[in-house]
Amino acid sequence: MDQNPGIGLVQQAAAMSASSAYISDDLAAALFPKSDIMLSDRMLSNGRQYLQAIVQEIETEICMIAAEDFGVTHDMIIEIGNSNRGHSFPLLQNAGLLETKALLEHIFTSVQRAELGSRLLQKISQADLESVLTRHLDNEEGAIADAAMALLVAQSRDNAGPGSIHAHIGNLSAEILFALAWPITAAVQKLSGYDGPNLHKATEKLLGRHDEGAATQSRAQRLAQLVDQMDSGENQLHPLHDGLDLFLARLAKRSGLSVDQLILFTAEPNMMRFVLTMRAVDLQTDVALSIFGVLEGSGQLLTPASYNEIEGDKATELVSKWSSNTLYQDAQRQLNINLPGFSD
Amino acid sequence: MPVTGNLAEPVRGQLDGDGRLVSADPPLLRLHLHSGGFEGGPLAVPQLSNLCRLSRQLDMNLSRPVQAADDDNLINMWVEIRLQSGDQEGNIAISIIDWKETPAPSTQSETLGRQRDFDRLNGRGSIRTDASLRIMALSLPGDLDAVEKYVGQSLLDVIDFVAPSKQTVLIESVSERQPVRGQHVRQKHGKKSYYDLSGQPLIDNEGLFSGYRFSLELDQDRKEQEKDDETGLGLGKGELISDSLFGSQLGPALRQPLGKIIANAETIGSRLEGPLRGDYSDYAKDIASAGRHLMDLVNDLSDLEAIQRTSFSVAADDIDLVDLAHRAAGLLAVKAADHQIRIDLPDKDKEMPVKGEFRRVLQILVNLIGNAIRYSPDGSVIKLQVTQEGEFSQLIVRDQGDGIAEDDQQRIFEKFERLGRSGDGGSGLGLFISRRLANAMDGSLTVESAVGKGSAFKLSLPSRAV
């Protein structure tokens, strides 16, 4: 007997009514954005793909560990472990489990980093970019040479072509992986109907063996820490000279800000806070202008006059304020929200 | 010089299940002890213990850069936190693979201390208030009682405003976080001295307004006037001018407008009120610099007049020559750095107690070191040494300048003697005043020098038993 087509339609209609209830939320977010940052369609698409890829990689990994190390023989678990398609993503999405602030900020940072990477590649080729890093391989200090090698290896793993992001568990910070792994475990459990303890153990094992020190940003941070301590004149700060990761890590170290903050600054209109940060760490006018030219994407110009007009002391003061505890800053902003004149 | 850890060997430590540091390599143990920890106690370095806590909470290994402060050093570390398994289950292994120590940049408190020295040099008092104008710290020259009475009180409760100044002007400036300048005030209680009050808003490291720092300059003009009123024996105008031209009349009359010129020119030069063309800002800085030269000259002339008065006397404070040498060198550190000159100071732990007036000895030393900087070649060294001979203690300021010919060595202590030099900002009064001040404190100021071999100025003051 033919399946009654009416059931499918009824289900779809019911689902539609549930989802359409949120139309005002979607429209409000699109009509009244709360930040000044423009999110292009490419960034949104990249962000979605990145998140899907990460979720898929984590679920595959958990299922493979469960099957190989803990002898789980459940069909669905084995299928997910061998699949190249994401399973838990729609479930997590519908449940709103992917909307945590930390996760969304991580996605934004990742897509903006990819944007910056593609802007940089318009000025210099990938091969040239790699060769600038190789100069550290000959450093007489062993730790620097090691750190540079580690960074090069991590970067070669990430090369997925300009503008796109290579999603890799190894590049996630401990907090983000932790925040994703447990909801994914719950989703896989629900999808598969498997209720043994081994899925949990597999997740614990995945988390336990994660080495965030192997992440590209982490390796760049370590090299930045070592290179800046050398303090030699040739260590000029410039993305064309250091590559994006090392440049951001060095600027972060000098300014006391985090790399994620710097990436956010580059997405803001006219990169205003980024320019102020360059002024605060006393970058020379021509260097700052050149960095601005390389990283800015909307054709804006930074003139020597406007850069020099920024008071160094004021810039330092503001940058030091931005580098303070983010919870404190957020709280302060919310407390002052109705008091004009109490902002930056 | 940065201190480098042995990069080949990581610095290691181990925490037990309760977070106690059960083993640690010497650098980590030292940092732990300096952070208030004890052997076998909970890990006391906040940055590291936070990481360990996070690692335990997530049940994950972490690798992160960490910066910690130890005494005057900043330590940059690359820390790997590893959760142990098997027998060691529950323990945490800390491995620090890059351990680098560098001297920490100077802090704001040093700048404030330096500013206080400037104020004391100029005979000014200072008051530091919080954002609601409550007095947190103060120093008023010659009025020790004020310190214990005023701290904690509102500034407005301890001073009265004297016409033409008004309290509302201060309140308005404070509410707009603007600098306050040239307000005439009088103590409500105690000595009831008159002061000129100026203040700058303070911004803390978070960029927020945190109070004011006020300078109080004794208003001699009003004091004299009041004395005359009280005794009813006011001198005729002509007599005053002939008796004390600078101290009571011209000095204050010149200082006030000059102060305004300098302050306004500095405000314009630093573009506090808004953007300005680059060359105009430079002109403003030139005006401020010329104003400061004039102000120095007025100060010198006032001092000259003061020390020539028969009634001139100095206080016999208990002071330490080594401490004063450090303070004076601190005041001139920027000027010396501009010329890449290094000031070699006696060891801070050394003591050379003497009798003399704090402010006047500081004035002499600033003059001697300032001269040494002015007449030394760039990149040279100025050496300050202390010695003791009999009942006198000496501080010697030795430079590597051109030296002074023997015939000129007495002439330089004469009034307006510049040995033919001009255009270097000197008035030719500094050494004359310094020697007179040294003599007034029962000491002496002499020079030993030879052409081409630098000069050594020796300030002797009576030693004091500790």
Name the pLDDT band for A249 (thresholds 50, 70, 90).
very high
Look at A194-208, B57-71, B113-127, B401-415 and tell me which has the smallest mean pLDDT.
B113-127
Residue A104: per-residue pLDDT: 94
Diameter of chain A measured on Cα atoms:
82
Name the pLDDT band for A34 (thresholds 50, 70, 90).
confident
Predicted TM-score (pTM) of the model is 0.56
How many A-B residue pairs are in contact by the CB < 8 A criterion?
71
Of A142, A221, A311, the CB nearest to B7: A142
Contact across the interface for B207 and A321, Cβ inside 8 Å: yes
Residue B17: per-residue pLDDT: 85
A213 → chain B, closest CA residue: B63
**Greater model confidence, B147 or B8:** B147
Phi, psi of B80 (to 5 degrees): -115, 120
* CATH 3.30.450.20, applies to B3-103: yes
Residue A52: per-residue pLDDT: 92
**Greater model confidence, A289 or A335:** A289
| Cβ atoms B64, B51 nearer than 8 A | yes
**Greater model confidence, B20 or A129:** B20
Give me A326's structure tokens: 């983010």
Residue B236: per-residue pLDDT: 37
pLDDT of residue A161 exceeding 90, the answer is: no
What percent of chain A clears pLDDT 90, i.e. is strictly above it? Answer: 33
Of A142, A204, A324, the CB nearest to B59: A204
* Alpha helices for B180-250 (secondary structure H): 220-231, 237-243
What distance in Å separates residue B158's CA from the closest CA in chain A? Answer: 31
Mean pLDDT, chain A, whole residue set: 85
Contacts of A247 (CB under 8 A, 6+ apart): A237, A238, A239, A241
What distance in Å separates residue B143's CA from the closest CA in chain A? Answer: 36
Residue A162: per-residue pLDDT: 52
With helix as H, strand as E and coil as C, how does B54-104 read? HHHHHCCCEEEEEEEEECCEEEEEEEEEEECCHHHCCCEEEEEEEEEEEEC
Pick from A53, A109, A61, A152: nearest CA to A261: A109
Residues of B at the A interface (Cβ-Cβ below 8 Å)?
2, 7-8, 54-55, 58-65, 76, 78, 80, 83, 85, 97-98, 100, 102, 203, 205-207, 270-271, 275
Mean pLDDT, chain B, whole residue set: 79
CA distances from B348 to A175, B106, B234, B324, B351 (A): 48, 17, 50, 10, 8
**CATH homologous superfamily, domain B106-234:** PAS domain (3.30.450.20)
Q: Which of A212, A223, A254, A308 to mutate to test the interface with B (most CBs of B within 10 A)?
A: A212
Name the pLDDT band for B464 (thresholds 50, 70, 90).
confident
Query: H/E element holding B23?
Result: strand B21-24
What percent of chain B clears pLDDT 90, i.e. is strictly above it? Answer: 13
Whether the CB of A177 is below 8 Å from some CB of chain B: the reply is: yes
Name the pLDDT band for B12 (thresholds 50, 70, 90).
very high
What is the complex's ipTM, to 2 decimals? 0.80
Whether the CB of A175 is below 8 Å from some CB of chain B: the reply is: yes
Of A141, A225, A309, the CB nearest to B65: A225
Q: Convert the pLDDT of each residue in B324-351 to its tens digit.
A: 898 888 878 878 888 888 898 998 888 8
pLDDT of residue A331 exceeding 50, the answer is: yes
Q: Convert the pLDDT of each residue in B217-274 to its tens digit.
A: 877 666 555 555 444 433 333 333 334 555 556 666 777 778 778 878 877 877 666 6
What distance in Å separates residue B424's CA from the closest CA in chain A? Answer: 30
A182-187 — which CB contacts under 8 Å span 24+ positions? A183/A92, A183/A97, A183/A98, A184/A55, A184/A58, A184/A59, A184/A62, A184/A88, A184/A92, A185/A62, A187/A59, A187/A87, A187/A88, A187/A91, A187/A92, A187/A97
Pick from A228, A263, A229: nearest CA to A242: A228
Residue B142 CA from chain centroid, whole number:
19
Top CATH class of B317-462 equals alpha beta
Contact across the interface for A321 and B206, Cβ inside 8 Å: yes
Name the pLDDT band for B3 (thresholds 50, 70, 90).
very low
Q: What is the pLDDT averaged over residues B23-51?
A: 89
CA atoms of A1 and A23, how far apart (whole Å): 38
Of B59, B61, B98, the CB nearest to A143: B98
Contact across the interface for B64 and A143, Cβ inside 8 Å: no
